[in-house]
Amino acid sequence: MWPRIQYYCPCMSGSNLQTPPPPTLTSSSASFHPLHNLYFCEECDAVRCNRCVSVEVSGYYCPNCLFEVPSASVRAEKNRCARNCFSCPICRSTLSVVASDPPDDGDGRPSASLGNVGEAPYFLYCGHCRWDSAEVNITFEKPTGLAAQLQKFEDSAPESLEFERLKEHFEPFLRTSSLTSSSHLPAMSSHHLHPSSATAAASAALARDIPGVGKYNPLARSRAGRDRTANKDEMPEYKSRVETAVFSQLGGGGDDADVDLLRHMETVEEVAKLEQRWGNSWTTPPRSSDLRPHRIPLHSKVSKRCPACRHILIKPEQKAQSVRYKIKLVAANYLPAITVGFPQTGATKRMAGKVPSSGTDAKSGIMHAGTSNPFQLALTNPLYDPIQVRLSPQRVADGRSYQVSLPTSPFSVAAFAEAWEYDDDEDMFGVEDDELGIGTDTGRSVRDKAPRGRLKNVGILERKANVTVVGGEVNIKPGFKGNVKFNMMVSYTYRSDDPLPSEDGVGTPSRTTKVPEVKTFSFYTAVDLGSSMVSNDDKPADV
Amino acid sequence: MDALVYYSKAEFIETDTGNKVSRRATIAGPQNIILGGKTIISSGAIIRGDLRRTGPGHAVVVSLGRYCLVGDGCIMRPPYKTYRGNFNYYPMKIGDHVHIGANSVIEAATIGNHVIIGKNCIVGKFTIIKDCAQVADNTVIPPNAVIPALALFAGSPGRFVEDLPESTQEMVEAQTKQYYTRFQPLDR
């Protein structure tokens, strides 16, 4: 978990590049994201996150049979898979269709009919909890088109029928009122002195969808008085064909029956859990043994747009299971990737002495309170141009906790080139750890590096390919408890004078402009170094 | 800046294509197993290449792509079923850049590229895992399940939790390549 670094998206604050909240506040975590979750809008030159992008559905598919459902039929099929995909009412895993066992012909051996696919009736079977649909009397004559066969049950439910009748009843009225509302609603919103577009749109939608609401709208009361005669259309009264009392009975019997049911209950599992019931549209029986299988809800592929300029940041390929994108503007292709770590020196060695499994990076608490602790930041440049980076950690609010020192002067990170990746791919023998830059001898040289690292903790430690490692120090005051966190502003300057035409493919950092130009971009990060060891041997409590 | 992962040079066999296979792993029916290159089989893993489809000729039982990792104590067993009265094993195909955590049991039919499966998972028979999907630690995927692309599954039974970020493919690729470079011999 620690150490880690997260990147700031300014969408929660008012203006761009406002100072982010101090990382010690719990609420600040909402503004910081891992780099790979962020997007980058080239038009606005800004970082965008999942919280602020606007999302559009670009396609629907069933997560089980992976069938791509045309959006026209999504509504008709009620957002669920209309093929053979069902989820178990008990554990919600996918059900499979199985055939009945062939009749036993007495000799205990599989009969000849086993050579065939199987026998009717077919039923649904859960491979996880062993529920099967014969328990609720659902069997099928043939193993195909099961959704259509089950749809009959669904559509004949009294609630479903009632809903259909209601829709039918309101349909003509909605059609006429949508015509009239489109003519009079703009006038209504212009009446209002401070029309916020959101409330106007909401009230317009409300007035359109629910007839008669317009006249109760306080914003438009004066206007509605005049509209009343026009709006109060000749809406015939709706008469339900089902008594309301009937609905309360549908679940399993109403009050007395429920009490009776509970009285004879022996285990908790007999009652359907909330989780098992709330995916249902209609009333569900309280007994878990009465639950019925669901068709599997569809998933969607989404494209994402910048909230400010509406440019597309993410546009997936049409095919549902493709992981490629026609447009993919992710922040990892624009901002230098930063990883935080501790040098393989004293502290880790001491930890390694105590904990046998020293192979993994120290998880927590390798820093000591009361001394200065070195740490490292490795910056990786994703651009095809070299960049100049300047790190400016923000001062921690209260001086009693810890102080961070990092190199203040700008340093360069070399350009990214495919060739390095290629090298990495092919020279597999004797490739040493890139980022540590250990000499030819592994193992021992890790330790040899220790004195060197100690001599210059703060400063540029190493450059290799498009990675530059800088060292920093955090001075923890004695008695400080909790995680060492600080915000850090990273500014980088890049020259965009690349004469080569930029490759337009997915995921290539295309930062080229016509004129050679120096640009600077700044972003904030939050570095969490984990907690410090309170004393030499005590582990911190809040790991 | 991640630390190197050392293994004892005596324990692992390295092939021409860079596969590193532990001598403490149980590889049954090696003639039916394909490793794509730069794939690591950790100690204690069991790969059942001997459970082949009945019938004459050569049969590939388990195929793994490049940059895969089969964790400590993993069991990879091809799926089987009785179809039209005949019991048979079916091949297991695993793509590139697939990491499988320690002590997981895999009986999947197909695992796509850039898939990460956590520790102590059970992936049931004939499961299909599409590209860039992930399975969290301690997940039980029931038989015949399908995990769509870019989905995170967790729990018992494994269920959809969330969509993974669009850059998952690049991340997993970098992670698996880096793991391979970090996996270095230690002479002792």
Written as six digits, the tokens of A210 are 């629910």
Nearest to A433 among B150, B182, B186 (CB): B182
Per-residue confidence (pLDDT) for residue A417, from 0 to 100: 80
Contact B148 A321 (CB under 8 A): yes
- The Cα–Cα gap between A334 and A52 comes to 18
Nearest to A36 among B6, B146, B171 (CB): B171
Q: What mean pLDDT, rounded, does chain A reach?
A: 72
Asked if pLDDT for residue A507 goes beyond 90, the answer is: no
Which residues on chain B place their C-beta less than 8 Å from a C-beta of chain A? 1-6, 18, 38, 84-85, 114, 124, 130-132, 140, 142-146, 148-151, 156-160, 165-171, 177, 180-182, 184, 186
Contact A36 B168 (CB under 8 A): yes
- In sign, the C-alpha dihedral spanning A218, A219, A224, A225 is positive
Asked if pLDDT for residue A218 goes beyond 60, the answer is: no
Q: A400 falls in which pLDDT band (50, 70, 90)? A: low
- The Cα–Cα gap between B173 and B167 comes to 10
Written as six digits, the tokens of B78 are 């091809």
From residue A120, alpha-carbon distances to A80, B84, B112 in Å are: 26, 15, 35
- Choose, out of B1, B164, B182, B184, the residue to mutate when testing the contact with A (most A CBs < 10 Å): B1
Residue with tokens 């000749």: A234
Closest listed residue to residue B102, CA positions, set B72, B65, B133: B72
ipTM: 0.90
- The Cα–Cα gap between B149 and B128 comes to 10
Q: A504 falls in which pLDDT band (50, 70, 90)? A: very low
| A328 Cβ under 8 Å from any chain B Cβ | yes
Distance from CA of A396 to the nearest CA of B (A): 26
- The Cα–Cα gap between A477 and A25 comes to 20
- Please write the tens of the pLDDT for every residue from A72-96: 889 888 888 988 899 998 888 999 8
| A218 Cβ under 8 Å from any chain B Cβ | no
Per-residue confidence (pLDDT) for residue A319, from 0 to 100: 87
Q: Which amino acid is at A191?
A: H
Contact B168 A126 (CB under 8 A): no
| Terminal C-alpha separation, chain B | 24
- The Cα–Cα gap between A28 and A12 comes to 10
- Choose, out of B38, B122, B166, the residue to mutate when testing the contact with A (most A CBs < 10 Å): B166
Lowest mean pLDDT among A41-45, A200-204, A260-264: A200-204
Closest listed residue to residue A293, CA positions, set A492, A84, A72: A84
A467: closest chain B residue by CA: B1
Asked if pLDDT for residue A103 goes beyond 70, the answer is: no
A408 neighbors A490 (Cβ within 8 angstroms): no
Per-residue confidence (pLDDT) for residue B151, from 0 to 100: 95
Per-residue confidence (pLDDT) for residue A221, from 0 to 100: 43
Lowest mean pLDDT among A199-213, A388-402, B64-78, B150-164: A199-213
pLDDT, average across residues A69-73 = 90
Per-residue confidence (pLDDT) for residue A182, from 0 to 100: 54
Written as six digits, the tokens of B9 are 């040079």
What domains are defined for chain A?
A: 4-38+335-533 (2.60.40.10), 159-231 (no CATH)
| A115 Cβ under 8 Å from any chain B Cβ | yes
A523 neighbors A392 (Cβ within 8 angstroms): no
pLDDT, average across residues B164-176 = 93
- The Cα–Cα gap between A433 and A413 comes to 18
A180 neighbors A230 (Cβ within 8 angstroms): yes
Written as six digits, the tokens of B181 are 């470079």
- The Cα–Cα gap between A377 and A415 comes to 18
DSSP designation for A165 = H
Query: Any residues with CB less than 8 A from the CB of A114 and at least 6 apart, and which?
Result: A102, B84, B85
DSSP designation for A240 = -
Asked if pLDDT for residue A513 goes beyond 70, the answer is: no
* In chain B, where the domains are located: 5-183
Asked if pLDDT for residue B41 goes beyond 70, the answer is: yes
**Domain at B5-183, CATH homologous superfamily:** Hexapeptide repeat proteins (2.160.10.10)
Q: Which residues of chain B are within 8 Å of residue A37 when distances are taken between CB atoms?
A: 165
Closest listed residue to residue A83, CA positions, set A64, A102, A60: A64
Per-residue confidence (pLDDT) for residue A494, from 0 to 100: 85
Q: List, as one string, the DSSP characters of A305-334.
A: E-TTT--EEEEE-SSTT---EEEE-BGGGT
